[in-house]
Amino acid sequence: MSASFHRPIFDKVSLHQDIAKVLVDEVSLRQRVRELGEIINREYAHKDLLLVSVLKGSIIFMADLIRAITIPHEIDFMATSSYGTGVSSSGVVRILKDLNTSIEGRNVIIVEDIIDSGHTLNYLARILQERQPASLRIMTLLDKPERREVDIHVDWVGFSIPNEFVVGYGLDYNEIYRNLPYIGVLKPSVYGAPE
């Protein structure tokens, strides 16, 4: 990432000007996260529950989700890196930050921001399953089924979306736009694609 990339971004008055359209608004996000929290409350009452957030994109979703959960639970974090360009992944995954605790015998939910090709999540699910949790399920805020290259079962999806480049509510482009309170489609001109 070069300094020339950052100068124009920091000169902007508002990040909203780079958004072609809002795909999921703030109200819809809040409502769906509450619904997902209620599902967890019902299905995991009286169970040893650990939520694993996949950094960095899922951090805002995770923060809102745990506030919607009223039963006892713990949280932990993993961070991964996929080699590839800024807008696509090569499918080669490495773990940058692993869990701080054992998951053996525990009920684990992987909390993801978005699933497109499925490579990263498939890799994480395999790694975590080898650690012998009592159960392992997947919750994602966004799903791009058109982009799937790996067959992976997702237990709960917040929203299925078309194959568009989205940012906001934790999702970024070159570490920018995470703070937008909605899910928006980034203008192709921002990441060098033709309009």
Is 35 strand, coil or helix? helix
In 3D, which of 81, 78, 126, 134 has the Cα closest to residue 103? 134
Burial class (CB in 10 A: 0-12, 13-18, 19+), 90: exposed
In 3D, which of 5, 13, 18, 11 has the Cα closest to residue 182? 18
Instruction: Give the single-character DSSP code of 173.
Output: B
Active-site residue among 116, 143, 151, 155? 116
- Both tokens of 77, joined, read 């974090």
Is 175 strand, coil or helix? coil
Active-site residue, 64 included: no
Q: How far apart are CA 65 and CA 61, in angstroms?
A: 6
Instruction: Give the single-character DSSP code of 151.
Output: -
Is 147 strand, coil or helix? helix
Contact 73, 47 (CB under 8 A): no
Catalytically active residues are 116
